[in-house]
């Protein structure tokens, strides 16, 4: 069984791409490439960036949902950036509301460190989507708070939410950013900078340490998964019905995936290893008081 799991883990590892959080997070730890991506998205120049946390976790109160941010960055001006890879839409309105929750948690985290309201930093929450969330075929959707009566009047609260659409064909963006979105969509990198990202993906995947980390996670998950299925089957047999066995097997799978997510495994990776739909696993995690990207 160990050998079979090891083979499956290696196959899963070989299929990982920039779309997978496990790879995306590690590629974005390359300061040059991460800064380049931010500059292209925002059309600004950034002198320097740094990473307060490799994967930022915010858990302010016992009665609030914890949030884990994939890529959390600050620049030399104190601006905060949160970048997330999104491969599923979830339920209607889920992703826009998640940006609202992330924004609130980031602000509360900053305030908890002694920042006054008028000193709250400029923040950008950026979702790189493999789909068109809004159905308007734009490559990039940028949202700021504006007055309904006077659309030219911006609130100026320093909060910006951006959704990139890898499927988009409309809207003028930097050529490199357009090529990056095509790369996320599974097309071959064309520009020099996106080719560097492609090379970084391959460099990460060549690292024995990374491969071992992923494969160990995968095989440990399979052990937990098998134990969960056996427990579900036991409960089903006790209930004396096939439906109980099937429900127990599914519940065991989801609970096992949830344990890994609580240990820091990204949703997409947990769902991929567990072979369950991301939407189903996300809903299960939310029902159990968690918010994951």
- The band of 94, judged by pLDDT with boundaries at 50, 70 and 90, is confident
Same domain, 157 and 263: no
Same domain, 27 and 163: yes
Q: How many domains does the chain have?
A: 2
Same domain, 181 and 236: no
Same domain, 60 and 194: yes
Beta-sheet strand order (sheet of 159-165) = 49-53, 71-75, 80-86, 123-129, 159-165, 140-143
* pLDDT digits 0-9 by tens, 251-290: 567 777 777 676 567 777 777 667 677 778 888 887 776 6
Q: Which of 27, 106, 24 is nearest to 291 (CA)?
A: 106
**Whole-number mean pLDDT of the chain?**
81
Same domain, 121 and 134: yes
Same domain, 24 and 94: yes
Q: Which of 206, 237, 265 is the last residue of a domain?
A: 206
Q: Which of 206, 235, 251 is the last residue of a domain?
A: 206
pLDDT at 278: 75
Average pLDDT over residues 93-101: 88
Same domain, 174 and 29: yes
Query: Who has greater pLDDT, 188 or 114?
Result: 188
Residues in the chain: 293
- Work out the burial of residue 121: count CB atoms within 10 Å of its CB; fewer than 13 is exposed, 13-18 middle, 19 or more buried: middle
Domain residue limits at 82: 17-206
Q: How far is CA 185 from CA 127, 233, 279, in A?
A: 14, 40, 20
Same domain, 177 and 231: no
Same domain, 222 and 234: yes
3-state secondary structure labels for all residues of the chain: CHHHHHHHHHHHHHHCCCCCHHHHHHHCCCHHHHHHHHHHHHCCCCCCEEEEECCEEECCCCCCCEEEECEEEEECCCCEEEEEEECCCCCCCHHHHHHHHHHHHHHHHHHHCCCCHHHCCCEEEEEEECCCCCCCCECEEEECCECCCCCCCECCCCEEEEEEECCCCECCCCHHHHHHHHHHCCCCCCCHHHHHHHHHHHHHHHCHHHHHHHHHHHHHHHHHHHHHHHHHHHHHHHHCCHHHHHHHHHHHHHHHHHHHHHCCCCHHHHHHHHCCCHHHHHHHHHHCCEECC
* pLDDT digits 0-9 by tens, 100-126: 988 988 888 888 766 677 778 899 999
* pLDDT digits 0-9 by tens, 47-77: 999 887 655 554 433 334 445 567 889 998 8
Same domain, 99 and 238: no
pLDDT at 62: 36
Residue 38 has pLDDT above 70, yes or no: yes
Residue 217 has pLDDT above 70, yes or no: yes
Q: Which of 173, 188, 206 is the last residue of a domain?
A: 206
* Within-domain flag for 82: yes
pLDDT at 293: 43
């Amino acid at each position: 069984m160990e050998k079979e799991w090891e083979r499956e883990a290696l196959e899963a590892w070989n299929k990982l791409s920039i779309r997978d959080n496990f790879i995306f997070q590690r590629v974005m730890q390359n300061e040059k490439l991460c800064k380049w991506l931010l500059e292209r998205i925002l059309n600004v120049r950034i002198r320097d960036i740094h990473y307060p946390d490799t994967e930022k976790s915010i858990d302010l109160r016992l009665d609030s949902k914890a949030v884990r941010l994939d890529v959390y960055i600050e620049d030399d001006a104190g601006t905060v950036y949160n970048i997330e890879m999104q491969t599923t839409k979830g339920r209607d309105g889920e992703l826009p509301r998640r940006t609202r929750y992330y924004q609130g948690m980031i602000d509360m985290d900053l305030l908890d460190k002694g920042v006054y309201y008028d000193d709250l930093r400029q923040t950008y929450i950026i979702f790189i989507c493999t789909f068109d969330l809004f159905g308007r075929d734009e490559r990039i959707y940028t949202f700021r708070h504006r007055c309904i009566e006077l659309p030219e009047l911006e609130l100026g609260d320093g909060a910006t939410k951006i959704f990139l659409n890898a499927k988009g064909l409309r809207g003028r963006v930097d050529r490199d950013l357009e090529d990056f979105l095509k790369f996320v969509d599974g097309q071959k990198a064309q520009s020099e900078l996106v080719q560097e990202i492609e090379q970084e993906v391959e460099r990460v995947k060549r690292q024995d340490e990374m491969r071992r980390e992923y494969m160990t996670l995968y095989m440990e998950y399979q052990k937990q998964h098998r134990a969960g299925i056996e427990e579900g089957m036991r409960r089903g047999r006790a209930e004396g019905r096939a439906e109980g066995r099937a429900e127990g097997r599914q519940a065991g799978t989801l609970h096992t995936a949830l344990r890994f997510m609580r240990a820091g495994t990204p949703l997409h990776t947990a769902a991929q290893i567990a072979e369950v739909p991301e939407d189903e696993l996300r809903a299960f995690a939310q029902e159990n008081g968690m918010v994951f990207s």
